[in-house]
Each structure stands twice: as structure tokens, then as C-alpha cells.
Amino acid sequence: MLNSLEDTLNKTCLLGLSYFNVAGDQLKQTILAGTVIAVDKEIGITIQLLQHKEAKKSKANFILPTNLACWFNAPQGDFHTSTQGVKITNPDYLVTWDIYQTKEDQSAIKATKHSQDSEQQWWQWRPRTEPPKIG
């Protein structure tokens, strides 16, 4: 059981992310995997993502909110991510988030004025607090 953000440091995790539009329709699901390399109450939990062995680019990081309610002990096994050729074996945790768009995507709307707001999307992260079902 995780008692603090520091308990996640150097732990491996499989991330299940579901994205939804403003109307609540699912846009996509993504599965990522990696190791927690940093924690900060303000910034979040930084995960260095696993990449395909032959990937030549530098390692990518992904930052999660600090809510630990959606971190569950993972069962033993091999898990494949959304990236072809990337899998994780026996991760420490399964982490699941629902991510909701809170503003319409303005890029599809033709605007006469060009503003910074029209180029941004706003997202609300909601932890899934029920253990994920595997299989």
C-alpha cells in the first residue's frame, strides 16, 4: 500500500489512460509503462516511459497528478503497451486515469481572431479508484 508520494519512487507501473471529450464520449485509450523517477507535490509524479529497444530518441517522461487513489498492486505477468514492441514484465503498480476535455477543441472552429486560447485544450484528470480488471 502506498502511504506517500515517495513510496512510488523507482517503482514500475503500467498506466491505463482513457480520454473523453466534453460530451463524455471516449476519444481513445492509451497504455504506457515506465519507472517513477521523481515526485513533487506541485509538479506531480514523473515517469520515465519504456521505449522499444531500438528507439534512437531520448527517453520520454510522462507526468501524472499526485493522487494515489488509483495506484493498485499489479498482478504478475507480461503487459503490452500501446506502443508496438514495448512491454513490461511484473510491474509494481497498475495506475488508471480518466481524462476529460473541459473545453471544446477550438481548432475545428474557424475563428476570425487568433488567440492562444483557441489553440489549447483543457483537461481534467479523474482517478479511477476501483481496481482495474485484468484478462
- Decide if 32 is inside a domain: yes
- Decide if 135 is inside a domain: no
- Decide if 134 is inside a domain: no
**In the predicted model, what is the mean pLDDT of residues 42-54?**
90
Number of domains in the chain: 1
- Decide if 121 is inside a domain: yes
CB atoms within 10 A of CB 18: 16
In a 3-state reduction of DSSP, which class is residue 4? coil
pLDDT of residue 109: 44
**pLDDT above 70: percentage of residues in the chain:** 82
- Decide if 63 is inside a domain: yes
- Decide if 114 is inside a domain: yes
Residue 120 domain boundaries: 5-127
- Decide if 39 is inside a domain: yes
Q: Is 36 exposed, middle or buried (0-12, 13-18, 19+ CB in 10 A)?
A: buried
CB atoms within 10 A of CB 15: 22
- Decide if 99 is inside a domain: yes
Q: How far is CA 116 from the centre of its chain?
A: 25
pTM: 0.82
Weakest-pLDDT range from 27-41, 67-81, 115-129: 115-129
Contact 122, 43 (CB under 8 A): no
pLDDT of residue 112: 39
Rounded CA-CA distance 95/58 in Å is 24
